[in-house]
Amino acid sequence: MADSAAPAPAPDPAEANPTIFGRILRGEIPCDQVYADERCLAFRDVHPQAPVHILVIPREHLVSLAEASPEHAALLGHLLLVAAQVARQEGLEGFRTVINSGAEAGQTVFHLHVHVLGGRPLAWPPG
């Protein structure tokens, strides 16, 4: 006799994300949201490094850019397009996008995120 039980639903990727960004995506921690769609969320950084400092995060848990593969190409492009959109939305004429990948590069939350910085002159080199 065959088992007629329905297969278990696939786990929600956000539930497997133990980072603070996972908690934000699950609604456990509030954020100052500036943009959201089915693929990403953008919100103001709680420790801004510029007058405008927004984080754009994918809903899919991806540890860092170094962990990305060709299957993530569309998602990575989408994150950058959203970064540009929120910069325009904030009235920025010039802005910087930053993706830290790994602890040595300054990544402190191990969920891929794009920083959008602006609202003041930004020096080069950055760090």
Q: Using CA of residue 17, residue 23, residue 25, residue 26, what is the dihedral sign?
A: positive
Model confidence at 101, in pLDDT bands (50, 70, 90)?
Answer: very high
CA distances from 46 to 51, 66, 115 (A): 12, 25, 12
Comparing 1-10, 57-66, 71-80, the range with the smallest average pLDDT is 1-10
Tokens 């802005």 identify what position?
95
Model confidence at 5, in pLDDT bands (50, 70, 90)?
Answer: low
**CA geometry: angle at 102 spanning 97 and 103, to 5°?**
110
pLDDT digit string (tens) for 11-68? 455 467 899 999 999 999 999 999 999 999 999 999 999 999 999 999 999 999 999 9
Taking the CA of residue 8 as centre, how many other CA atoms within 13 Å lie in the half-sphere pointing to its CB? 3
Contact 101, 65 (CB under 8 A): yes
Model confidence at 73, in pLDDT bands (50, 70, 90)?
Answer: very high
Catalytic residue check, 113: yes
In words, the CATH class of domain 13-118 is alpha beta
Amino acid 126: pLDDT: 80
pLDDT digit string (tens) for 77-89? 999 999 999 999 9
Domain ranges of the chain: 13-118
What are the structure tokens assigned to 73, written together?
A: 């190409």
Amino acid 115: pLDDT: 98
Residue in 61, 111, 113, 115 annotated catalytic: 113
In sequence order, what DSSP letters do the residues of 62-98 get, joined into one string?
Answer: ---GGG--GGGHHHHHHHHHHHHHHHHHTT-SSEEEE
Mean of the pLDDT values across residues 106-126? 95
Confidence check: pLDDT of 3 > 50:
no
- Residue 43 amino acid letter: F
